[in-house]
């Protein structure tokens, strides 16, 4: 069951409470480079990112933010943008009021706001800006930049304890304490709890699960959930999935980000796609028709079913924007099956909206097609792929059209 969290409004996006889990991402362009940042925000939004964060690290970046926002709106993009602040956020937000106004949320890292009295003064200054412009904030704690005074105090206390905890447990406790103390301070400075989102990111799966589980038991703030520094490619996607799936399955998480390291010429939007796949695999949200395909084995001696699976994935990628524009409702729930042989082919195909069971080696070279559980035809020959796609298109128009 979904954890009961407070509803937070970020620009035009509602999250927390009973709202669907929101997908977010972060740019890796130089924010001061208005055109390339704009292009990347647009690409991320087109890919399905519902919130996009940009670093605001220097005055030139702060000055660029209102221009990026203005150009986004001119292009028809209302996707909220979030400013990521470290060290000098209090200065930038006060010195460049147009930036403070244009951003839809501020991310504050309590470990990077200053020390002692300076910390409290700078933190208060940022909260006052949030109050002035009526903006929500994320208290984003990261173990790489954790407030060391909290960690040292908890370590000392633990050292005197009769039942000392492990260093990992103390780290988890310190992250949660840092987040909750900062949230309490923000509240005392006047920020309403429904303007506060919290995150406690770490880079090991088990630590992240423990930290968010503890945090979720101690507050009802909306939670931004993610594994920080997840890494590259499959490793990053799998580690993020392991952490997020566990938490989301237990109802924890109101917005997610997958922090993938892209290849030097890689596609930044991949992190959005992974978020979508996680939510879709868990059955929490649907974004694109799903293709069930078998892995293949010694019963498949050609690559036809692999090619067909690949083609169908690509077909849906290209068709979804067209079908959306056409106003087809619910098309993302479509399920198709592409199977390699008679062993599981007909059975799995019957479970899908449309399924095709391709012939394995030694089988009659014919492929039965099932629609809504019933065998409707048998395909064969070089036209098989094209005919199957046409059948899918017809089914979509019939089932999801007006
Ligand atoms: S459906 Fe057939 S080809 Fe596919 S994995 Fe199973 S036995 Fe192998």
* pLDDT at residue 107, as a whole number: 98
Cβ atoms of 240 and 258 closer than 8 Å: yes
Cβ atoms of 174 and 150 closer than 8 Å: yes
pLDDT in tens, 363-398: 888 999 999 999 999 999 999 999 999 999 999 999
Structural domain ending residue among the three candidates 263, 281, 299: 281
* pLDDT at residue 273, as a whole number: 95
Beginning with the edge strand found earlier in the chain, give each strand of the sheet holding 290-293 in spatial order: 290-293, 335-339, 354-357, 367-371, 374-379
360 lines ligand 1 (CB under 6 A): yes
* pLDDT at residue 1, as a whole number: 85
* pLDDT at residue 147, as a whole number: 87
Counting ligand 1 atoms within 8 A of each CB, the residue from 296, 305, 351 with the most, and so the one to mutate, is: 296
Q: Which atom of ligand 1 is found nearest the CA of 295?
A: 5
pTM (2 d.p.): 0.93
Beta strands in 353-393 (DSSP E): 354-357, 367-371, 374-379
- Angstrom distance (rounded) from CA 190 to CA 135: 12
Would you say residue 178 lies in a domain?
Answer: yes
Would you say residue 1 lies in a domain?
Answer: no
* pLDDT at residue 322, as a whole number: 94
* pLDDT at residue 302, as a whole number: 81
Question: Cα angle vertex 351, ends 348, 357, to 5°?
Answer: 40
The answer to whether residues 197 and 304 belong to one domain is no
Instruction: List the CATH number of the domain containing 354.
Output: 3.30.413.10
How many CB atoms lie under 10 A from the CB of residue 212?
30
341 lines ligand 1 (CB under 6 A): yes
Would you say residue 2 lies in a domain?
Answer: no
The domain containing residue 100 runs over which residues?
8-281
Phi, psi (5° rounding) for residue 329? -95, 130
Q: Which atom of ligand 1 is found nearest the CA of 297?
A: 8
- Angstrom distance (rounded) from CA 260 to CA 257: 9
Cβ atoms of 249 and 9 closer than 8 Å: no
* pLDDT at residue 60, as a whole number: 98
pLDDT in tens, 115-159: 888 999 999 999 999 999 999 999 999 999 898 889 999 999 999
* pLDDT at residue 117, as a whole number: 85
The answer to whether residues 297 and 215 belong to one domain is no
What total of structural domains would you count in the chain? 2
The string of DSSP codes covering 336-363 is EEEESSTTTHHHHHHHSSEEEE---TTS
The answer to whether residues 307 and 235 belong to one domain is no
The residue whose C-alpha atom lies closest to atom 7 belonging to ligand 1 is 343
Give the residues of the chain that fall short of pLDDT 70.
Answer: none
Residues 6 or more apart whose Cβ sits within 8 Å of residue 319: 393, 396
The answer to whether residues 310 and 388 belong to one domain is yes
Burial (0-12, 13-18, 19+ Cβ within 10 Å), 379: middle
* pLDDT at residue 11, as a whole number: 98
Query: Tokens 């630590």 appear where?
Result: 207
299 lines ligand 1 (CB under 6 A): yes
């Amino acid at each position: 069951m979904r954890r009961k969290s407070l509803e937070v409004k970020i620009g035009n996006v509602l999250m927390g409470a009973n709202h669907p889990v929101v997908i977010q991402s972060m740019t890796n362009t130089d924010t001061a480079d208005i055109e390339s940042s704009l292009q990347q925000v647009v690409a991320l939004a087109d890919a399905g990112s519902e919130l996009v964060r940009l670093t605001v690290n220097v005055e030139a970046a702060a000055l660029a933010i209102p221009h990026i926002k203005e150009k986004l709106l001119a292009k028809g993009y209302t996707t909220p943008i979030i400013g990521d602040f470290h060290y000098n956020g209090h200065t930038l937000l006060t010195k460049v009021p147009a930036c403070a106004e244009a951003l839809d949320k501020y991310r504050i890292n309590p470990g990077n706001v200053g020390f002692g009295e300076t910390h409290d003064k700078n933190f208060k200054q940022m909260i006052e800006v949030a109050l002035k412009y009526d903006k929500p904030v994320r208290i984003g704690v990261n173990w790489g930049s954790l407030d060391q005074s909290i960690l040292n105090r908890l370590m000392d206390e633990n050292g005197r304890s009769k039942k000392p905890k492990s260093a990992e447990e103390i780290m988890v406790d310190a992250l949660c304490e840092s987040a909750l103390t900062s949230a309490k301070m923000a509240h005392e400075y006047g920020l309403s709890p429904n303007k506060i989102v919290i995150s406690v990111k770490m880079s090991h799966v088990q630590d992240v699960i423990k930290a968010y589980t503890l945090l979720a038991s101690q507050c009802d703030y909306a939670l931004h959930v993610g594994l920080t520094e997840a890494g590259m490619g499959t490793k990053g996607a799998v580690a993020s999935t392991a952490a997020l799936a566990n938490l989301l399955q237990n109802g924890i998480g109101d917005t997610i980000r997958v922090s993938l390291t892209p290849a030097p010429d890689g596609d930044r939007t991949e992190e959005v796609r992974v978020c979508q796949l996680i939510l879709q695999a868990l059955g929490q949200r649907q974004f694109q028709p799903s293709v069930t395909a078998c892995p293949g084995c010694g019963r498949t001696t050609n690559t036809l079913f692999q090619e067909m699976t690949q083609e169908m994935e690509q077909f849906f990628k290209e068709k979804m924007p067209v079908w959306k524009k056409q106003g087809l409702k619910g098309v993302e729930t479509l399920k198709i099956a592409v199977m390699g042989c008679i062993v599981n082919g007909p059975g799995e195909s019957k479970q899908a909206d449309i399924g095709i069971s391709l012939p394995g080696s030694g089988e009659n070279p014919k492929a039965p097609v099932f629609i809504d559980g019933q065998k409707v035809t048998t395909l064969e020959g070089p036209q098989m792929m094209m005919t199957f796609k046409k059948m899918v298109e017809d089914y979509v128009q019939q089932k999801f059209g007006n």
